[in-house]
Structure 1
């Protein structure tokens, strides 16, 4: 049962994501008429003392990494560069995982789990802003940028900011039940459950790649979403063999050509649903899916919702109904 929680801080940590763990596990709610236990909540760091925040302020932390030795859950908070994480932190994460404790990362904290080797061959997530870097630096890790959080065994990784709350509440629900998770969520005034498969609902430009030819190809693909694109045809445009191209494409984008293309088509469909009066058939054609059934399939797969539901939720006042 989940009783003790240790949160690891390293210099340049993000205070908001740290605070999400504090809100869920660090407040004693046991006397408020619910079944919520009082967690043994610990904040630790490799070198006890003042730990600098990303904002420039600092927090005095009195506990060292020995606080993780018997914790039921060890949380890695976001920080600066992954090569700034001391080996002692990586060892603490490995030890916690080896003895069967839960290990969680919030936002870019996933880089520490990846560097420790815990995510090798596993599916994980992080904030979409860092997803391609994580995939490029650790190609043996299966990065999914289109979800809020991922549980793989006793490892949980989450996307940015509020997704950390979702991941924490998910673990509470798994370990202590839906009623306890709902009581904590009610006290925090947040939704008691957002499924991890729900998308981060991101909208971003074509990512910069390691090579100009590949980046130019990506831009051409986005401009020609309505076309069918085979690996052989795409490889020929950048003068590579199909095998080399497929390897390079995944290395630079974190996805296969087909998956990347479908994600761009979904993004285009999102834009059309938000900003136009086009019906679903027209959105399917304009976004490159061709048929509504394919649009609905990929929308459900990537965003875990339907095009109609997405339009109702995100269209707002962008379009005046006709």
Structure 2
């Protein structure tokens, strides 16, 4: 079997019943693919379908592909059946190295030859994951941002034994599937987006630990400050544009010395019980008794609105 062209793939296997695995399945269904989802046990079907129900509301609001249908979903707890006709495999198994390695040892034997196998891992390297795989050249990390059915980013990086052609094929496939692929220069802990997110998270924990802000204060600052701007400009371009004609050169020349000021505390704070309780209590207060599903639905509605607004703002206008 030769590898199908990335634009010709129609049959996808999604492995995993959690929010990421089910979220990926929802995304691919919405784009018109036939999806076979592997569940470790059919007892997970109810939770899987609840994620799909939630996702479908937002996906319908964004606009489904003409061929999109939930009837194109097949569920199975038989791994071999799940991948037997796959033209692409998205793996979202638990984040434990021994589980991933054993799974890839099996997948390397039973997935049709030359079909790309992509991992949703957020913390493991493909070099480690592919250690026991008999066909490691076709394995690649494809790290999504949650929820994967809404946020376009997918960060791609191969392992030591991944072929360059596999990474290129995966990039083209995800672009065809409506994602925004970012090919990493090398394997690094946390990829790009997660490292940036973790920097914010460390600062938030420090401010809560030192009594400088509550979780609600921090979220208010982000939601009403940099977050809307980041939807259209990343951190680098925001600073470039903010300094007028001088751009980033003015920014660094004028504000560079301030980088040495002791605003930030780069190392993570000690996660004491007191800090843990402050974070938990603060977030519970901010949630104000709302259930997770209610908050997730509210989040998704807002993201849909943002994605639509950004797409509209970027649409070419007649002169």
Q: TM-score, normalised by structure 1?
A: 0.38
* Normalised TM-score (structure 2): 0.38
Say which structure is richer in helix: 2
Point out which structure has higher relative CO (alpha carbons under 8 A, 6+ apart).
2
